[in-house]
């Protein structure tokens, strides 16, 4: 009997040492500086899993020696009501299960790495946070759904080429006293319908719907650092490109930043309001850097892992913001993918714009596309195909504009057409095509064919690109202005101060007439349709509301400009020839004229392109200050449907002599007369 007990004891000891050795062996596999050796956790339960009976907490912190969770009654201030040691678990994770209903309780994590206890933090996967994002909160997400949320559906979308993007900042749209909104500067303010300015013109969401927009692009609405949510009575402003909690929402846009459930519910109400108007919602996401470096929540859990470093071991900085994330590392890659899946499913988000997408690696971006396709292949993905500085990851591996052809169903912004139309973004006094700089016609043409391969383009004359970079037209975002740099109106005011307001308005209308009739996906900066100004401020990321707000009295003053933009959008939506779906289709149906005088860009779209009811279309842009003669194809009579003043589907004027005098600073679209009858 004693021998049998001894045998069992020996077996138990062997099993114990075997398990301990296996655990130690797993730990020792992590090699300092070689992040590829870190264990990868593939579970879907990181951070917090709530039920009424118990809540489970799990964090990934493979280099930690110990981990502690603290519970609080409030999201800020006060002492913890409980402290619990977490247990080391599989694949570098730490686990804790607490019985009972913890809904409404706040919590933080803290880990010991080496000989240092890192800072308390809410974890990196937190989906609900208290004021200023210092502590996470236990919530039941099902209880944050507004009435009717289960029936909320994405508005129909046949092709990415049908998209018309409208970039806005939540606060800007309603904060002005002229907005007519009750909840000014809030999610709920932007969701309000029936708002008008003093003259009775629609503002806010009704204005956007009236304009004909298909997708609103929201500047960051995730939780960011540089607005103090405890002092919202004090004027503060920030665009939000300083991420704090990626998976939680910004509290300053909520009516109560102290209650985590409020911001979640109110943002869902915003999304549903746009969907009810037939408008999809795009989120601006900023996974390329964090607002803090060493002190970031990522770094406080797993030091250095989530970031790239330079040769000296310092944080590399291709973001221009002090650090850059390492999307090629497995847990950062998984983090991005899981975060996007969360927003697409929990919030019904319809698209994502990637800030400084050129910092991310191509493989991660393509994996994101594949995951979005599983949810809904009409979710639109696009981003900036550049970085703000040198990057340690080779160019060949990054989602740069030049590598767009390696991206699957992901679009990039075209700086080629942007700077060709209005002038260089960083040289505020440099003019562009519409404002009087010669020699930019070929760059404008390159934008018109959405940066795709086309036999009529002389690539040696294009401003930034010596070859096509988009595989299909839907991979190009054409635009002339956005939140960055001057508004279009301010840019023209700087480059052309000697011109009359009337002539600058003509330039302004011509600029976006090019954008809205080009192939690819057009993008408008909110308020451009009413000549938005930021009073000449070049970079308004933290300027006051007086600079950033949209003054809705501009709509009254410039209603003719608004109606022109509205007409351009109606033209685009009514005629699929301006949104062809393939490069092959473009080469078959769209042909440029190379015989025109300086300042003229002219092309034809023939053969009922993309199923258009118009058989033959001529488009003429005249950037000259004088009327300019253009010879029309003699085999048809032509009817003008768009000029510098209006769009009329049934025709404005018919030309029978084959000669067009294109008005100065204008776009002219003509259709074979038989198609108009």
Distance CA 394, CA 433 (A): 34
Distance CA 417, CA 482 (A): 13
Contacts 24+ apart (CB under 8 A), 616-619: 616/671, 616/672, 616/675, 617/575, 617/577, 617/669, 617/670, 617/671, 617/672, 618/668, 618/669, 618/670, 618/671, 619/517, 619/667, 619/668, 619/669
Q: Which residue has the tokens 């686990």?
A: 95
DSSP string, 416-452: HHHHHHH--SS-TT---TTTT-SS-HHHHHHHHTTT-
Quick one: angle between helices 488-495 and 501-517, nearest 10? Answer: 130
Q: Is 60 helix (H, G, I), strand (E, B) or coil?
A: strand
Give whole-number Cα distances, 214 to 284, 380, 400, 454, in Å: 16, 12, 26, 28
Distance CA 468, CA 514 (A): 19
Distance CA 409, CA 596 (A): 35
Quick check: 519 and 448 in contact, CB under 8 A? yes
Quick check: 547 and 534 in contact, CB under 8 A? yes
Beta strands 215-218 and 106-113, pairing class: unpaired
Catalytic one of 172, 355, 612, 672:
355
SS (H, E, C) 179-213: HCCCCCCCHHHHHCCCCECCCCCECHHHHHHHHCC
Beta strands 47-50 and 476-478, pairing class: unpaired
Identify the CA nearest to 308 among candidates 329, 335, 337, 285: 329
Give the full edge-to-edge strand order of the sheet including 47-50.
47-50, 54-60, 93-99, 87-88
DSSP string, 545-598: HHHHS--THHHHHTHHHHHHHHHHHHHHHH-GGGG-S-HHHHHHHEEE-S-PPT
- Catalytic, 653? Answer no
**How far is C-alpha 334 from the geometric centre of its chain's CA atoms?**
20
Catalytic one of 384, 441, 612, 616:
384
Distance CA 412, CA 410 (A): 7
Distance CA 499, CA 82 (A): 69
Cα 472–475–479 angle (5° rounding)? 125
Identify the CA nearest to 56 among candidates 87, 80, 91: 87
Token reading at 88: 């080391």
Q: Could you say which DSSP state residue 30 is in? A: -
Distance CA 332, CA 326 (A): 7
- Catalytic, 250? Answer no
Q: Could you say which DSSP state residue 121 is in? A: B
Distance CA 673, CA 650 (A): 10
Residues known to be catalytic = 355, 384
């Amino acid at each position: 009997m004693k021998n049998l007990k001894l045998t069992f004891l020996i077996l138990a000891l062997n099993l114990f040492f075997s398990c301990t050795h296996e655990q130690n062996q797993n730990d020792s596999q992590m090699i300092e500086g070689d992040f590829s050796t870190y264990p990868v956790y593939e579970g879907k339960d990181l951070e917090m899993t709530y039920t009424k009976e118990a809540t489970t907490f799990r964090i990934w912190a493979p280099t930690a020696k110990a981990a502690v969770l603290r519970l609080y009654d409030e999201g800020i201030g006060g002492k913890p009501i409980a402290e619990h040691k977490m247990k080391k678990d599989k694949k570098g994770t730490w686990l804790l299960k607490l019985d009972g209903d913890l809904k409404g309780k706040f919590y933080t994590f803290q880990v010991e790495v080496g000989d240092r206890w890192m800072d308390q933090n809410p974890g990196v996967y937190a989906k609900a946070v208290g004021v200023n994002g210092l502590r996470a909160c236990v919530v039941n997400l099902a209880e944050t759904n507004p009435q009717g949320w289960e029936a909320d559906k994405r508005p129909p979308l046949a092709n990415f080429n049908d998209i018309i993007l409208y970039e806005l900042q939540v606060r800007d749209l309603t904060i002005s006293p002229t907005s007519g909104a009750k909840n000014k500067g809030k999610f709920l303010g932007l969701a309000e319908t029936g708002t008008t300015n003093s003259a009775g013109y629609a503002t806010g969401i009704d204005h956007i719907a009236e304009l004909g927009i298909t997708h609103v692009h929201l500047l960051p609405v995730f939780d960011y650092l540089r607005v103090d949510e405890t002092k919202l009575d004090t004027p503060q402003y920030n665009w939000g490109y300083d991420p704090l909690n990626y998976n939680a929402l910004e509290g300053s846009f909520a009516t109560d930043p102290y209650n985590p459930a409020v911001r979640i519910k109110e943002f869902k109400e915003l999304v549903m309001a746009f969907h009810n108007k037939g408008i999809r919602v795009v989120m601006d996401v900023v996974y390329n850097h964090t607002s803090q470096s060493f002190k970031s929540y990522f770094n406080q859990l797993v030091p250095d892992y989530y970031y790239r470093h330079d040769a000296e071991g310092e944080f590399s900085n291709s973001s221009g913001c002090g650090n850059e994330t390492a999307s090629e590392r497995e847990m950062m890659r998984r983090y991005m993918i899981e975060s996007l899946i969360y927003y697409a499913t929990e919030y019904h988000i319809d698209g994502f714009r990637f800030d400084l997408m050129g910092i991310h690696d191509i493989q991660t971006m393509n994996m994101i596309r594949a995951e979005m396709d599983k949810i809904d292949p009409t979710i639109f993905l696009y981003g900036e195909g550049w970085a703000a500085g040198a990057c340690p990851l080779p160019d060949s591996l990054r989602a740069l504009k030049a590598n767009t052809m390696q991206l699957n169903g992901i679009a990039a912004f075209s700086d080629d057409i942007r700077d060709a139309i209005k002038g260089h973004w960083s040289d505020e006094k440099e003019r562009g095509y519409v404002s009087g700089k010669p020699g930019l016609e070929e760059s404008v043409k390159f934008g018109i064919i959405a940066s795709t391969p086309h036999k009529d383009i002389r690539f040696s004359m294009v401003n930034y690109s010596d070859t096509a970079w988009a595989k299909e037209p839907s991979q190009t975002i054409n635009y002339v202005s956005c939140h960055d740099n001057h508004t279009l109106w301010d840019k023209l005011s700087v480059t052309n101060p000697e011109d009359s307001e009337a002539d600058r308005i003509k330039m302004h209308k011509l600029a976006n007439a090019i954008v809205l009739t080009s192939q690819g996906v057009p993008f408008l900066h909110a308020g451009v349709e009413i000549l938005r100004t930021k009073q000449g401020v070049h970079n308004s990321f933290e300027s006051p509301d007086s600079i950033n707000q949209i003054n809705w009295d501009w709509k009254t003053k410039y209603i003719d400009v608004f109606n022109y933009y509205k007409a351009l959008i109606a033209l685009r939506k009514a005629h699929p020839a301006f949104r062809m779906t393939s490069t092959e289709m473009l080469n078959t149906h769209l042909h440029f004229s190379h015989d025109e005088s300086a300042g003229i860009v002219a092309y034809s779209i023939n053969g009922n392109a993309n199923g258009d009811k118009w058989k033959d279309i001529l488009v003429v842009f005249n950037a000259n200050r004088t009327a300019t003669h253009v010879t029309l194809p003699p085999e048809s009579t032509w009817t003008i449907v768009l000029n510098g003043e209006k769009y009329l589907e049934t025709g404005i004027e018919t030309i029978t002599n084959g000669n067009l005098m294109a008005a100065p600073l204008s776009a002219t679209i003509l259709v074979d007369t038989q198609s108009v009858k």
